[in-house]
């Protein structure tokens, strides 16, 4: 058994961006984004000068990935589940960054804000320092990520309640491709 303090279970669904537009509700989702204290502070977050539909239009295939993250019961808890989640989310992002590196026809989208830089240059009114490493948020492009995950992956999402941690958190990413064959490597 692993000595890591968490366990991940990967869930994947090969689809098309067009199929995912069933979960596209840009006006509704931007309303949620406006309530977030990070709104407008990251280049991965809205407002954007383009629509999610326009951004995804060049791509024909998509691989939806979710990692369900739970505590490892064999390892004493020394971190919050949120801290564990952030680590697992970054590891998933790094794995996907390496996978798409040097491949022109692939793009990775994540749930939540980009985390490449410790402080985003948008807060300073500057352009993105690493546009090739920036990861747009699925939510920022107008997608109802929770509905997508629950329906496409049959994966229930849990939220903290009355100060109690959920049993699991889920890190989400979407890899889109102009040629779907390369996505099969991630299955």
Q: What is the mean pLDDT of each run of 10 residues along the chain (187 residues)?
A: 85 94 94 89 90 94 95 92 91 91 89 87 93 90 95 90 88 90 76
Residue 2: predicted pLDDT: 65
Please tell me whether the peptide bond between 47 and the residue prior to it is cis, using omega within 30 degrees of 0.
yes
* Burial per residue of 158-182, b for 16 or more beta-carbon CB atoms within 10 angstroms, e otherwise: eeeeeeebbebbbbbbbbbbeebeb
Task: Measure the CA–CA gap between 51 and 137, rounded to whole angstroms.
Answer: 12
- The token duo for 145 is 């990520």
Residue 3: predicted pLDDT: 79
Residue 104: predicted pLDDT: 83
Residue 11: predicted pLDDT: 96
- The token duo for 18 is 């067009």
- Edge-to-edge order in the sheet of strand 168-177: 6-15, 61-71, 168-177, 106-110
135 burial type by CB count under 10 A (0-12 exposed, 13-18 middle, 19+ buried): buried
Residue 72: predicted pLDDT: 93
């Amino acid at each position: 058994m692993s000595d890591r303090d968490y366990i991940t279970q990967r869930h994947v669904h090969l689809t098309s961006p067009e199929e995912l537009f069933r979960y596209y509700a840009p006006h509704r989702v931007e309303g949620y984004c406006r309530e977030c204290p990070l709104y407008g502070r990251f280049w991965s977050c809205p407002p954007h000068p383009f629509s999610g539909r326009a951004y995804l239009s060049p791509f024909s295939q998509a691989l939806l990935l979710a990692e369900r993250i739970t505590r490892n019961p064999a390892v004493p808890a020394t971190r919050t589940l949120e801290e564990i989640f952030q680590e697992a989310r970054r590891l998933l992002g790094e794995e996907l960054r390496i996978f798409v590196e040097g491949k022109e026809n692939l793009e990775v989208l994540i749930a939540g804000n980009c985390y490449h830089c410790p402080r985003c240059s948008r807060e300073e009114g500057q352009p993105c320092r690493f546009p090739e490493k920036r990861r747009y948020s699925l939510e920022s492009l107008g997608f109802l990520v929770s509905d997508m995950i629950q329906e496409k992956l049959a994966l229930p999402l849990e939220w903290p309640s009355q100060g109690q941690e959920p049993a699991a958190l889920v890190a989400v990413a979407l890899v889109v491709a102009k040629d779907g064959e390369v996505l099969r490597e991630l299955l």
